[in-house]
A and B are shown apart, each in its own frame.
Chain A
Amino acid sequence: MWNKPKKDDLPVRPEPAQAAAPSPAREAIPTSAYPSRRPDEAVTRGGALIGKSLILAGKISGREDLVVDGRIEGDVDLPENKLTVGAGGHVQGGIRAREVVVYGTVHGNTEAVEKVEIKRNARVLGDMRTARPVIEEEAYFKGNIETVRVEPPKTAVQRAAAPDAPQPPALPNAAPAQIEARPGEPRKG
């Protein structure tokens, strides 16, 4: 199922010379800006990981995707990126991100410009502010949902102004958000 979109994905991001390489080479291209096929790929190539045994106290902010399998006691601020709270992950604090996916536990308010997705068996206590709230029925959610309109991303203007500029792989708006988001749903069902 995912093989089909793979073909379609490639033209979306113009690659200068390497794009013309034969298909085995395509597979070898660093995929940090591509949609990840599996969660561990996302972790190892596309963003940062807070591992299972890690406990962090304090605020986290940055410009790359983050997967939390450990515990964070403090706010997480990734306004342009995606935060994934893994099944064993726990965030005790406010979250601000472009997109938030929760398989584990969040105690705190969540704000995501694009989407908040709460998967089955996840536990979220706190208010949510997003353009697109998605909550699976097996999830436990207790809080307020406020939907917000998505403003046109500012980086689109930047991209138009400098189309030939090298595209750093981790920039969240380098590729359409949907392309990035869909394959990030590996554990669906």
Chain B
Amino acid sequence: MSALPSRAAAGPRGAAAAPDSRKSHGLQTLVGSLQAGRPLHVLDFGGPVQNNIDFITDVVGGAGHSLYIDHLLRSYEYFFSAKEQEEGVFRPDRIEEFVASVMDFPDQSADAILIWDRLQFLPPEVAEAIVARLYRILASDAFLLALFRTDSSGADRAPYVCRIVDSQTLLLSEQPPARRMQTFNPRTIQKLFQNYREVKFFVSRESLQEVLIRR
């Protein structure tokens, strides 16, 4: 059982917390940063999840606000050939092309970015290029939320579907198929986001590291 029972998981009938429901301080901080009186632009690279669409469009609801959605892993698999993926060899120009195709946004135009655990399922050079592009896209002082599994078994894992239950609660469930997963530790995460102003780690359970990055 969770040491941090969530409000949402308790539900109206006070039912026990779902096993994959967890409190997210990173999300809470990110959502808190969105309460601004101007048009906001949020990017979600976890793919379409109705909870998230409802939540974010509600939070940033109103004329001029928008939520951009893409499933980064599916876009990656769609863009790169099976051979490239199998061999794990990616030409720099192909990476550049891919990054430009999935992240064609003006500099500093995003008020928040949800990348979830997607970076961990991309080849290192692609992940690095993505992070570099996100740095350009993210507005100054804005946040990026990422999840990293600290499991170093080297086994393939299914990425998470991350559902926002409320401003501080996430519901995570694995979404097959399993994919090759890069191993990260706090040091490699720090290095990955070295250009960013701040990298904040939140202690989480089940070998999951929640990381909030400030541009």
* Interface size bracket, B side: 20 to 34
B49-61 Cβ-contact flags toward A at 8 Å (1 or 0): 1100100010001
Select B70's contact among A133, A142, A147, A148, beta carbons within 8 Å.
Answer: A142
For A, the interface residue count at a CB cutoff of 8 angstroms equals 17
Contact A145 B161 (CB under 8 A): no
With A and B bound together, what is the CA distance between A139 and B49 in angstroms? 10
Is B197's CB within 8 Å of the partner chain A? no
Closest B-chain residue to A145, C-beta based?
B67
Using A133-B57, A140-B74 as known contacts, say yes or no to A145 and B50 having CB atoms under 8 A apart.
no
Q: Is the CB of B69 within 8 A of A143?
A: yes
A146 to chain B, nearest CB (A): 4
Please pick, from A134, A143, A148, the residue contacting B68 in the complex, using a CB distance under 8 A: A143
Contacts A147-B57, A147-B61, A148-B63; A141 near B50 (Cβ below 8 A):
no
Knowing A144-B67, A145-B57, say if A137 contacts B74 (CB, 8 Å). no
Min CB distance B134 to A, Å, is: 17
Contact in complex: B47, A146 (CB < 8 Å): no
**Residue pair B48, A139 in contact (C-beta under 8 Å):** yes
CB-CB under 8 A from A146, the residues of chain B are: 64-67
Q: How far is the CA of A127 from the CA of B100 in the complex (A)?
A: 17
Minimum Cβ distance to chain A for residue B57 (Å): 5
Contacts of A141 in B (CB 8 A): 47-48, 69-71
Q: Is the interface of A mostly helix, strand, loop or mixed?
A: strand
Taking CB atoms, residues of chain A closer than 8 Å to B75 are 142
Cα A63 to Cα B135 with chains together (Å): 47
Q: Which residues of A contact B65 (CB under 8 A)?
A: 146-147
> Is the pair A137, B47 in contact by a Cβ cutoff of 8 Å?
yes
> Smallest CB-CB separation from A139: which chain B residue?
B48
Residue numbers in A under 8 Å from B74 (CB-CB):
140
A and B contact pairs by CB, cutoff 8 A, 5 listed: A144-B67, A144-B69, A146-B65, A147-B61, A147-B65
| Interface of A toward B, CB cutoff 8 Å | 118, 133-137, 139-149
A136-B50, A140-B74, A142-B70 are known; give 18 further A-B pairs, CB within 8 A. A133-B57, A134-B50, A135-B48, A135-B50, A139-B48, A140-B71, A141-B48, A142-B75, A143-B69, A143-B70, A144-B66, A145-B53, A145-B57, A145-B69, A146-B64, A147-B61, A148-B63, A149-B63
